[in-house]
Copies of this chain bind each other. A is one copy, B any other.
Amino acid sequence: MRRPKKERQRLLGLLLEENPFLTDEALSEHFTVSVQTIRLDRLECRIPELRERLKTVASRTMNGEVKSLHLDEIIGDIVDLELDAKALSIFDVTEDHVFQRNGIARGHHLFAQANSLAVAVMDDDLALTVKSTIHFVRPVKAGDRVVARAEVEKESLTANRTLVNVVSTVHDETVFTGEFYMYRTTDGKLGESL
C-alpha cells in the first residue's frame, strides 16, 4: 500500500523510534519505495542513519539513561494511519502490564495506547490532549491483543480543537472507549520550524 509522502514520513519516524535497527534497505521494502526515497525522507525529517541511531541508543544504555525509556514509548504498534481521519494500533498485553493480584491490565496502559494513537492521528506534530473521558468497559488480561481504533470527528475539525474517538477491542469485544479533545498547536505550516 503506497502512502503519500507526508504520511510515510510520519510513520517512518514512529517506526524508527520503536525500532532503530532498520536499514534504509529494509525500510524501502517496508514502504515499497526506493532506497533513495527513504534517504530523502530521513534527510527531510532529520533522522540520522542506522549507525548514528545505534550509537545514541547504545550511549543511552551506557549512561544508565534507560531507566524509563519505555515510558516515552509509543504504546502499541501503529499499523494503519490516515491523517486527520483514522488510525489503528495494536498492543499486546503482557504480564508486565497487569496487576499481579488479579491479572487485569492497569488502566493507564490502555489509556496510553489510546492517547498515543489520538496524538498520532492528528495532522500536527505538536498536538496535545486537553480533555478526555474514558470508559474501561471490560477488564483486559495478559495475552490479550488490544486493537485500538481512532476516528477523528470531522465536524469537530476546527482551527485549534479536534475530537478524536477511540474504541479498543479484544476479539471484537469492546474493552475501552475514550473521547479525546485535542489541541493543535500549529496554525498552518509552521511544522518545520524548531
Identify the A interface with B (CB < 8 A). Answer: 19-21, 51, 53-55, 57-62, 64-72, 75, 94, 96-102, 104, 106-109, 111-112, 115-116, 119, 125-126, 128-136, 139, 185, 194
**What residues on B are CB-neighbors of A100 within 8 Å?**
72
Identify which of B96, B99, B108, B139 contacts A75 (C-beta below 8 A).
B108
Known: A101-B126, A108-B115. A20 touches B67 (CB 8 A): no
Please name 13 further chain A to chain B contacts, defined as beta carbons within 8 Å, in addition to the given A67-B67, A107-B128, A132-B132, sorted by A numbering: A21-B59, A67-B69, A68-B97, A69-B96, A102-B194, A106-B116, A108-B115, A128-B139, A129-B136, A131-B135, A132-B134, A133-B133, A134-B134
Q: Which residue of B58, B106, B136 is within 8 Å of A21 (Cβ)?
A: B58
Q: Which residues of B are found within 8 Å of A107, using beta-carbon distances?
A: 115, 119, 128-129, 132
